[in-house]
Structure formats: C-alpha cells, structure tokens
Amino acid sequence: MVNDDLNEIRARAERLTREPVRRSDLALTFDDSLAATADLHVEGRNFFPRILDDIASASSSVHINQFGFRPGHVGERFAEALLARREKGVEVRLVVDRQGSDPDRSSRELYDRLSAAGVEVRVVRATQVRAPAQAAADGGSTRWNLAQLGHIDHRKVVIVDGRIGWVGGAGVEDHFEDGRFHDLFLRVNGPVVSQLQLVFVASFRWLGGAIAVEELDVLFPEQEAGQSPVPAKVLHNAPGRSRPITTAIAHLLDHARETLDVVNPYVTDRGMIRRIEHAARRGVRVRLFVPANANNWACAAAQQFHHATLLDAGVRILGYPTMLHAKAFVPDGEEVLAGTCNLEAWSLRRFFEIDLLVRSTALAAQFEERFAAPAELVSAPGEALVGRRARLRARAFATISPFL
C-alpha cells in the first residue's frame, strides 16, 4: 500500500517536472499516509537547533518553503547551514514570500549570498502586478503576475532528503527564538514526507524553478513506515475552491466529543467561531488558547467581540502572556492538526497554507505535556469586553473581519 502511494506521488511529480505548472495544479489533495515518527517541538530555542541538525545531515537535498526568512541571529545560522550543505553538493532550494521575507530590499544581502553559492530561490509576489519569479540577485525578466495577486505564501516547511519533514508556524526570524513569539513545529519522517515534497515540487515549478526528472528517485525515496506507524497526511490550501485545511478544521470542531483544544493567534472567522461555540454547548470541554495581546490589534478587537458568547457557551479562553503564534487543533486527545493556518478569512480562503494531520494519542499527549499544560499555567482567563465604546469598536472590526 505504501509503495503504491509512493508510485502515484512520483507519477504526479514527473508530470510536474515535464509540463508547465498552472496555479490550478497546486490544488493538491492526499489520501491518508503514514508517519514512522511524529514529534511536537515548542519554542524556537527548542525546534530551531533540531531543524538545523537535520539540515546539517542532508546528503542530497534541502527544500524550504518559508513565509519569513530574514537576516538576524536565526537567519544567519540557517544561511550558514544551507551554504555549508551547498558547498558539499547538496541541492538547496528555497521558496519565500516577498511580504514575509523581503528578499529584494531589507534582506537583499542575505539572498545575494545564498544565490551566489547556488541556492535556488523563488519568490511568491502577492502584491506586485509585474515582477520576476526569483530574488533580485538572480535577475531575470519581469512578467505579468496576475495569478499570484492577493495570495500570500504563508507556509513554513522544511524537507531534508525527502525523508524528514518539519511543518509549523514559525518563521526563520529572531522573535521566534528570543521569547517574543510562542510557536510550535511538528517533525515527521516516513512515507508522509513524500506528500510534503510533492507540494514543494509543485510550488517551485510553478514559480519557474527547474527540477530534472532524473532527480525524482532521490527526492521521493522509498521509506519504511516503522514499527509503530501512525496515520498522517498533508493538508494544503492553495488559491481556488479546494481548501482541505479549512474543511478539516470544520470537521474537527464539529465532531469533537469530549475535549477540544484550539490554539490560534487570530480567531475572527464567524463560521469557525460558531463551531467552537456549538462544541462547548453540546458538552465538549473546550480550551481556546490565544495571545493576551495580539500583534494585530484589529484582529484582536474582532476576536474579542465574540468573547462574551464563547464564555457563555462554556469555552475556557486562555490568554497567553506573549505573542502566541501557534496554530493547532486537538480533539479528544486522539489527533493533532497543526501548521500554518489561522482562523481568519485570508488563511482559510485565500493564502497558501499547509498543515499536518496526525492521528496519534501519543502526539496528542506530547501536545498536552509540552504545550497546553505549560501554557495554561501562565495564561490569564479571557474576559468579555466591558464598556460601550470598547464593544462598539470590537463590533466594527468583527463586521469587517473578512477583510482584515
């Protein structure tokens, strides 16, 4: 079964390498696969060293899709690790978002160094009508860019040798390591990593990058599921009507039976908020982890408009003291959905997003031990807004929340 899945993914990858890739080709959906291991890592000071160790072990390829990859202490360590692998002949490819990474202006020197060493960089440019596909350091012709407009690439993925995959909410930026932002990553290996690799290959090719068909055996190696495999699959939101992450979140909220943990920095989508409320009203014990003071004050105001309803339904709202940036959903201690998708309209419907769904009580237990229990200890109870002016302001932002 696993080999059949791999053969199908390789066939899809071969088509992507041989034919022009359209935006519609990025609407990738997957059946259940398997993870040989799945682990949850909390805070940059814990997950960045592990990611860098995996990069240092790469023998054939390092593929990174990152919204925010910027200069700084963390960015420099990643750049050095990538340059070291490139010097050893490892193929290093990087897809970044212009808004998050700014490769042509404030981050130009970093990207000049990467490109000069042979790192292949492609850039998603959601706010430029005409633009090149690559970073300014690589030159290239300017072209019409209508297919990318409005579609920020918010994904954060690292794939090493087609065997190790990381998916989480943190950018390669200092504030995810020094305590200002609180986030998490999932690390998986086993057959499910091939799904992550296919998403990267599709995106890189769409942006004009070249991948030879001869590379596919190395990029998509055969992998053992291990002694204790767990069901896992990649969920990928791309522009268009196919939004597997959005569908999966709604399903988890609607079908939680006893407990439900929701972790998200921007909770403004009315449909998802109603689902959280209804879960609590049917007797599910719901914890909603949010930042006490979000970095996006408009989203925070829109979210706070709904606090009274959620609290009345029995939802425990927990305000984390620093900028909680993680995105995770854990129903009934049975599975974990985590990655990059926020509970607001842009993430749910318009951005590029990627999540991992892992059905594992062991991983859910890791979430409780490493994230939820420590966060609960330091978080303050969420409160309903008081005062007419505050409520009116929050109502206004809730009304326009689909555009925030």
Indicate whether 265 and 395 sit together in one domain: yes
Does residue 75 form part of some domain?
A: yes
In a domain, 106, yes or no: yes
* Pair (113, 62) in one structural domain: yes
The pTM of this model reads 0.96
Give a yes or no: residue 375 inside a domain.
yes
178 with 256, same domain: the answer is no
Q: Are residues 39 and 170 located together in one domain of the fold?
A: yes
Compute the distance between CA of residue 271 and CA of residue 328 in angstroms, rounded to an integer.
17
Structure-token match 């890189």, residue found: 204
Task: Answer whether 157's CB lies under 8 Å from 196's CB.
Answer: yes
CA distance 78 to 49: 10
Where among 160, 195, 229 does a domain terminate?
229
List Cα–Cα distances, 59 to 1, 62, 177, 187, 258, in angstroms: 27, 9, 27, 18, 45
163 and 114 in a common domain: yes
Distance in angstroms (rounded) separating the CA atoms of residues 165 and 61: 12
Burial class (CB in 10 A: 0-12, 13-18, 19+), 106: exposed
252 Cβ neighbours under 8 A, 6+ residues apart: 260, 329, 331, 335, 337
In sequence order, the β-bridge partners of residue 124 are: 97
Domain-located, residue 234: no
Within a domain: 238: no
Residue 6 makes CB contacts below 8 A (sequence gap 6+) with 191, 194, 220, 222, 223
Q: Which two tokens stand for residue 191?
A: 């057959």
Where are the alpha helices (H) located in 180-236, listed in sequence order? 193-206, 216-219
* Residue that is last in its domain, among 229, 262, 278: 229
SS3 (DSSP) at 54: helix
Beta bridge partner(s), residue 238: none
Q: What is the DSSP string of 292-318?
A: SS-S-HHHHHHHHTTHHHHHHHT-EEE
Q: How far apart are CA 149 and CA 300, in angstroms?
A: 26
pLDDT of res. 13: 97
CATH code: domain of residue 21: 3.30.870.10
| In-domain check, residue 235 | no
Residue type, 131: A
pLDDT at 1: 43
Write out the two tokens for 282.
């049917």
Count up the domains in the chain and report the number. 2
- Identify the burial level of 193 via C-beta atoms within 10 angstroms of its C-beta, where 0-12 means exposed, 13-18 middle and 19 or more buried: buried
pLDDT number for residue 286: 98
Q: What is the mean pLDDT of each run of 10 residues along the chain (404 residues)?
A: 78 95 94 97 98 98 98 98 98 97 96 97 92 73 83 97 98 98 98 98 95 97 94 95 95 98 97 98 98 89 93 98 98 98 94 98 98 98 88 85 76
pLDDT of residue 2: 62
Q: How is residue 211 written in tokens?
A: 């991948």
What pLDDT is recorded for position 333? Answer: 98
Residue 324: beta bridge partners?
Answer: 182
**Could you tell me if 379 and 287 are in contact, meaning their C-beta atoms sit under 8 angstroms apart?**
no
Same domain, yes or no: 189 and 278: no
Decide if 39 contacts 363 (C-beta within 8 A).
yes
Contact (Cβ atoms closer than 8 angstroms) between residue 239 and residue 359: no
The reported pLDDT for the residue numbered 397 is 82
Contact 205, 211 (CB under 8 A): yes
Residues 201 and 306 in one domain: no
Parent domain of 258: 244-403
